[in-house]
Structure 1
Amino acid sequence: MAKPRVFISSTYYDLKTLRTDLEHFVRDQGYDPVLFERGQVAYGSESPLEEYCHREIENCDILVSIIGGKIGTNSTRGHYSISQAELNTATESGKQVYIFIERDVYNEYRTYSHNREAQVNLQSVNDKRIFEYITEIYDLPYSNAVMAFDIA
Structure 2
Amino acid sequence: NLMSERIKNLESENRELKVQIETLTKNHKLEKSSLFDELKQLKTKSYDTENQITFILSKIFTPGQVKTLLNPKKRVRWTNEDIACAISLRSVSAKAYRYLRNKLKYPLPALSSLRKWGSKFDCSPGILKQVLLILETYSKTMSEFEKLACLTFDE
Asked if these proteins are the same fold (TM beyond 0.5), I'd say no
Ranked by relative contact order (alpha carbons within 8 Å, sequence separation 6 or more), the top structure is 1
Give the greater-gyration-radius structure (CA). 2
Short-chain TM bin? under 0.3
More strand by share: 1
